Structure 1
Amino acid sequence: MRLDKFLKVSRLIKRRTVAKEISDQGRIEINGKQAKSSTTVKVGDVLTVKFGQRIVTVKVERLQESSRKEEAAEMYSVISEDRVAEA
């Protein structure tokens, strides 16, 4: 599954266009490597997403083409959620 689609279906990011923009800006890593929106996501991958002052690290638990709101959180598990202090 494409990275931008996974982010939207899992509801980590609400819109696929926003997910595409963020990933193409280099703010998302998969297993420690910078990822583009078209990068393939697999079960077991570790995603690091930089949201402004927050860095969220999640592990992909499962992939599905669509999900209801209740099921979306089951697609990943949060490993860590950190705040970045402004310089």
Structure 2
Amino acid sequence: MRLDKFLKVSRIIKRRPVAKEVADKGRIQINGILAKSSSNVKIGDQVKIQFGNKILEIEVLELHDSTKKEDAEKMYQVISEKRVENSNNLD
């Protein structure tokens, strides 16, 4: 499944164009490798996303083409969520 679609369906990012923009600005890594919006996401992948001054790291548990709101959180597990001072750093 495409990264931008996964982020939208899992409701990590509410809109697909926003997910595409975040990915294409180099703010998302899959398994430590910089990802584009068209990158494939598989079950077991670790995804690190930078939102402004927050870094969210998740593990992909399920892939669905569409979900209900209550089922979206079952698609991933949060590994870590931390605040950062420098918004340009994914490390």
TMscore range, shorter length: over 0.9
- Is residue 51 from structure 1 mapped to residue 51 from structure 2 by the alignment? yes
List gaps (5 residues or longer) in structure 1: none
> d(CA) in 2 for partners of 1:16 and 1:81?
22
List gaps (5 residues or longer) in structure 2: none
Matched residue, 2:7? 7
- Is residue 31 from structure 1 mapped to residue 31 from structure 2 by the alignment? yes
CA deviation profile, 1:24-60 (whole Å, cap 9, x unmatched): 0000000000000000000000000000000000000
TM-score by length of 2: 0.93
Shift of 1:85: 1.9
Shift of 1:86: 4.5
TM-score by length of 1: 0.98
One-letter amino acid of the structure 2 residue matched with residue 54 of structure 1: K
CA RMSD, 1 decimal: 1.1
- Is residue 72 from structure 1 mapped to residue 77 from structure 2 by the alignment? no
> d(CA) in 1 for partners of 2:59 and 2:86?
26
- How many pairs does the alignment contain? 87
Matched residue, 2:19? 19
The alpha-carbon distance between structure 1 residues 63 and 54, as it changes in their structure 2 partners (threshold 3 A), is same
- Is residue 82 from structure 1 mapped to residue 78 from structure 2 by the alignment? no
> Kindly, what percent of the aligned residue pairs are identical?
59
